[in-house]
Every structure is written in structure tokens, then in C-alpha cells.
Amino acid sequence: MTATLVGPDLILTAAHGLVKNGQLIAGDFVFHPNFGNKQNPTTKTGLVKQIWLGTFTPERKDSLHSDWALLRLDKNLGDDYGTVAVEDVDAASLSRNPQEYYSSSYDTDFEKATAACWQKGCNFAFLDPLGFLLHDFSNARGASGSPLFYFAGQDHRHSARIVAINVGERSRKHETLYRVPFSRAVANVAVPSHEFYKTLQDVLAGNDDAAAVSPLPVTP
């Protein structure tokens, strides 16, 4: 799984790595920023203490557009490593406005997911009637929850804007595929940021009870 710091103590990822059979998976969830980065190693980690889920049934096709999760950490790691902004964009806008998008993930397509990788020049190619997007990024296992983003303006150092997250694959054999031509039958799946934007803003503002999805304490 890949996650992104979107607030001082908040990370964004996919829901399906956190739930099974409609329940939160027992045990601790730990966030490792810069995992596997030999040039910038870190010993700092964050223990997840609260979770907001878009769905408890991410394996259902009619829940794919809700396969997202916000997780609160026990430390403000965003103060040390920085955060990435999220822009409120709906699925229809992404599917009809092609431009250069990027992804960053821990993906078995690169170094067996032991180091982060990134791609550029990809796009959202098709809007499914159920509200999720198909995209042509070459993502494999480990890329679930990874950010799909663009750079606003000229200053690429501080202008990344997340517009969606990668959550899975659509394939003929229902398994991860990569290095294959994009089609509606063989593609990767994304959740647009509009699905989780309001909850993120509520949580960032400290309005936990006003969030669209009730917060869950992390207990076994």
C-alpha cells in the first residue's frame, strides 16, 4: 500500500488495505515515510490512531468510487516531511480534460516495491457509470492508495495537487497486469478527489464529528 501525507497528522490511501469482510482488519497500522529511500532514510514512523473510510465494502464494483481512507497518525510527520495539497475535482472533469498527470507509488513494477517510483505523462481515459475512473498509469501491486496529481503553475517544488488516488485494476483475469496496452477491459482504477475532499476538509478543520464518514477508533 502507498499513502500520502495530506495534513500534519493525516495520510490518504485506499480503503481496501484496511478492511476485510466488512470489518476493520485487526492489528496496528504503521506509516513509514520515505520507506526504502537510501538517499534520505528515516527512522520516524507514525502509528494510525483514527480512520475515516469511504466504504467497508471496497471489493464491490458499486463501491469502487468510495475506496478511500483518511488516517490520523499519532505524530505530526507532515511538519517534518511536508504535505501534498488535494484539489476538489470530480470524475467527469478528469475524464474530459486531458493533461499531463503524474503518479508516485510503491509498486511491484519497480524494485519489487522496496522503493518509491514515479510516472508522468499519463491520463484518465474513461469514466465508468458507477463513478470511478479508468486510467493508463502502469501500476501494479503496492500502488493501491497512491496519489495521481499534477503540478500547478511554474514552480514544481511546492505546487503538486492530488486529483485522484489509484485503487486497483480491471483485467480479464482479475489480477494485476502491467506493461500492457490500455483498454476498457485492461486498465487501472482511480477514485476522484471529490469523493473524499469534504471529509478531508472537515478533518483538517478539526470537525471530526461533522465529517461525511464517522471516524473509527483503531482497536483490534
Does pLDDT of 163 surpass 90?
yes
In terms of DSSP bridges, do strands 85-86 and 160-170 run parallel, antiparallel, or are they unpaired? Answer: parallel
Mean pLDDT on 135-151: 82
Mean pLDDT on 108-120: 75
Give the pLDDT of residue 7: 96
Mean pLDDT on 34-39: 70
Mean pLDDT on 167-182: 57
DSSP category for residue 62: G
Mean pLDDT on 105-119: 76
Question: Rounded to 10 degrees, what is the CA torsion of 74, 76, 81, 87?
Answer: 100
Give the pLDDT of residue 188: 81
In terms of DSSP bridges, do strands 101-105 and 187-192 run parallel, antiparallel, or are they unpaired? Answer: unpaired
| pLDDT mean across residues, the chain | 81
Mean pLDDT on 143-169: 82
Q: Are 126 and 95 in contact (CB under 8 A)?
A: yes
Does pLDDT of 56 surpass 60?
yes
Rounded CA separation 192/219 (Å): 29
Does pLDDT of 110 surpass 60?
yes
Beta strands in the chain (DSSP E): 4-7, 10-13, 19-20, 23-24, 30-31, 46-53, 69-73, 85-86, 101-105, 117-122, 124-127, 133-135, 147-151, 160-170, 187-192, 216-217
- Over the stretch 63-72, which tens digit does the pLDDT of each residue have? 888 999 999 9
Sign of the torsion angle spanned by Cα atoms 17, 22, 25, 29: positive
Q: Are 24 and 66 in contact (CB under 8 A)?
A: no
CATH of the domain at 161: 2.40.10.10
Residue found by looking up cell 471529490 in the block: 194
**Rg, C-alpha atoms of the chain:** 16
Rounded CA separation 11/77 (Å): 10
Question: In this structure, what are the phi and psi dihedrals at residue 16, rounded to the nearest 5 degrees?
Answer: -70, -15
Mean pLDDT on 152-176: 72
Mean pLDDT on 187-202: 91
Q: Are 85 and 162 in contact (CB under 8 A)?
A: yes
Give the pLDDT of residue 14: 95
Report percent pLDDT > 70 for the chain. 80
Give the pLDDT of residue 73: 95
Does pLDDT of 27 surpass 90?
no
Which residue did the predictor score with more confidence, 132 or 200? 200
Total structural domains within the chain: 1
Q: Are 178 and 139 in contact (CB under 8 A)?
A: yes
Give the pLDDT of residue 218: 56
Owning domain of residue 197: 4-217
Give the pLDDT of residue 13: 96
Collect all residues with Cβ–Cβ distance below 8 Å to 110 and sequence separation of at least 6: 117
Mean pLDDT on 156-163: 79
- Over the stretch 7-18, which tens digit does the pLDDT of each residue have? 999 999 999 999
